[in-house]
């Protein structure tokens, strides 16, 4: 499920691409969706500032990432799929919800809420990365998620405050890493992801951390692998 195209006002493109690569490697068949709604605003990514008097549609922008093969989220039927995954990017906090503006008092797009609740009720896994775990924390009471660390640590975790908001939303936050040091004496994937086995919610920090792209890629791979494992297929 995409939220536009571009980290500051839509889907984080590298995260979406990494998810698609790992799903392809895992043998999954994929269909992409996005809500057919206006973006909260448009950011000029070259300047990091809002583009005044410009508007875009979330579904239309998401189609760039999907190479045109995308449908309105309203058409997603849970019975047709084994799992659902949400990449991050500010679009999750601006277009799929109002978290960027309202924090713990945010509202979630009604179709996003429907999809999360339907997959949860059906006992089907839900994967989320970066900022998107706030969606599960808001919609699925008591869900265990990670957005990484709970302290900024000199700028390494610039969005660490999100962990506190997750707790205020009623979720449980679990501290996880994006990078690791070798050698390790336990399973590497456990450091990258959190698997809430009760709710079948799998999360990883991704770009919540100032980390190298290959580390982001590996963490997302661990998330995807665990989502696929939970499908039982």
The confidence score (pLDDT) of residue 189 equals 62
Query: pTM score, two decimals?
Result: 0.95
Query: Which CATH architecture best describes the domain 13-231?
Result: 3-Layer(aba) Sandwich (3.40)
**In this predicted structure, what is the pLDDT of residue 131?**
98
Residues with active-site annotation: 130
φ/ψ of 179, rounded to 5, equals -115, 155
Q: What is the pLDDT at residue 192?
A: 87
Look at residue 81 in the predicted model and tell me its pLDDT. Answer: 98
pLDDT tens per residue across span 45-85: 999 999 988 999 999 999 999 999 999 999 999 999 999 99
Count the Cβ atoms, other than its own, within 10 Å of residue 97: 25
| Token digits of residue 54 | 């410009």
Q: 203 in helix, strand or coil?
A: strand
**Domain boundaries along the sequence of the chain:** 13-231
The segments of the chain whose pLDDT lies below 70 read: 180-190
Q: CB within 8 A of 125, min separation 6: which ones? A: 82, 83, 84, 119, 200, 201, 202, 226, 227, 230, 231
Count of C-beta atoms within a 10 Å radius of residue 20: 18
């Amino acid at each position: 499920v995409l939220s536009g195209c571009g980290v500051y006002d839509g889907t984080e493109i590298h995260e979406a691409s990494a998810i698609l690569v790992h799903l392809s490697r895992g043998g999954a068949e994929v269909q992409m969706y996005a809500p057919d709604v206006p973006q909260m605003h448009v950011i000029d990514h070259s300047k990091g500032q809002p583009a005044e008097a410009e508007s875009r549609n979330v579904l239309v922008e998401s189609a760039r990432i999907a190479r045109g093969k995308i449908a309105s989220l309203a058409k997603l039927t849970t019975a047709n799929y084994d799992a659902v995954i949400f990449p991050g990017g500010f679009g999750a906090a601006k277009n799929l919800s109002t978290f960027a503006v309202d924090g713990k008092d945010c509202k979630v797009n009604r179709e996003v809420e429907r999809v999360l609740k339907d997959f949860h009720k059906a006992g089907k896994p839900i994967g989320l990365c970066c900022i998107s775990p706030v969606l599960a924390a808001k919609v699925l009471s008591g869900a265990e998620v990670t957005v990484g660390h709970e302290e900024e640590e000199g700028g390494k975790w610039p969005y660490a405050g999100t962990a506190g908001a997750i707790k205020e939303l009623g979720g449980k936050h679990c501290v996880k890493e994006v990078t690791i040091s070798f050698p390790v004496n336990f399973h590497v994937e456990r450091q990258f992801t959190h698997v809430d086995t009760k709710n079948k919610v799998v999360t990883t920090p991704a770009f919540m951390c100032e980390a190298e792209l290959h580390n982001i890629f590996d963490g997302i791979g661990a998330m995807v692998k665990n989502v696929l494992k939970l499908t039982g297929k």
